[in-house]
């Protein structure tokens, strides 16, 4: 079993990963941790430095998470891609052919999500692989 877990370094994404491992860990799936970093829209050197820093931070976080997963006897692979998350996730899914995709969804929508739709909604609509969406619940 292969599970593609979309992870942006957030607590919500980590919670989704932990729930995935709780549900499927006994089956010893291969976990593919994917983080997509969007390029800066500004050409300034400051923006480029921020982008490079974010990309490196994401990589460091995923490596630590993968090490923790490996200690549980579960194979973990880390992937960092640059681009728009929606289409990049679909592209990676097509290449890796997971049994399903896991994504976390925040509880509230911002104006951009209302205009363009959320990543989870996009994946549900366009992925040929099943998508499990973990929703953040606020008390």
Any idea of the CA torsion for 71, 75, 78, 79, to the nearest 10 degrees? Answer: -170
Under a CB-based contact definition with an 8 Å cutoff, are residues 124 and 131 in contact? yes
Q: What is the pLDDT of residues 70-113, one digit of tens each?
A: 999 999 999 999 999 999 999 999 999 999 999 998 655 554 44
- Domains parsed from the chain with CATH numbers: 2-135 (3.40.50.620)
Q: Is the pLDDT of residue 35 over 50?
A: yes
Over range 1-6, report the average pLDDT.
97
Q: At what angle do helices 85-96 and 119-126 cross, to 10 degrees?
A: 40
Q: What is the pLDDT of residues 53-73, one digit of tens each?
A: 889 999 999 999 999 999 999
Whole-number pLDDT of residue 43: 66
What is the residue-averaged pLDDT of the chain? 88
State how far the Cα of 86 lies from the Cα of 90, in Å rounded to an integer. 7
């Amino acid at each position: 079993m292969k599970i593609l877990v979309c992870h942006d370094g957030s607590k919500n994404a980590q919670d989704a990963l932990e729930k995935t491992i709780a549900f499927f860990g006994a089956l010893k799936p291969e976990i593919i941790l994917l983080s997509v970093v969007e390029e800066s829209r500004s050409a300034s050197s400051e923006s480029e430095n921020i982008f490079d820093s974010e990309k490196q931070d994401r990589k460091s976080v995923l490596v630590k998470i993968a090490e923790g997963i490996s200690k549980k006897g579960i194979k973990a692979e880390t992937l960092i891609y640059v681009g728009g998350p929606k289409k990049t996730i679909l592209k990676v899914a097509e290449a890796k052919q997971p049994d399903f995709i896991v994504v976390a969804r925040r509880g509230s929508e911002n104006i951009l999500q209302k205009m363009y739709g959320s990543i989870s909604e996009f994946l549900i609509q366009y992925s040929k692989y099943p998508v499990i969406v973990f929703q953040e619940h606020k008390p």
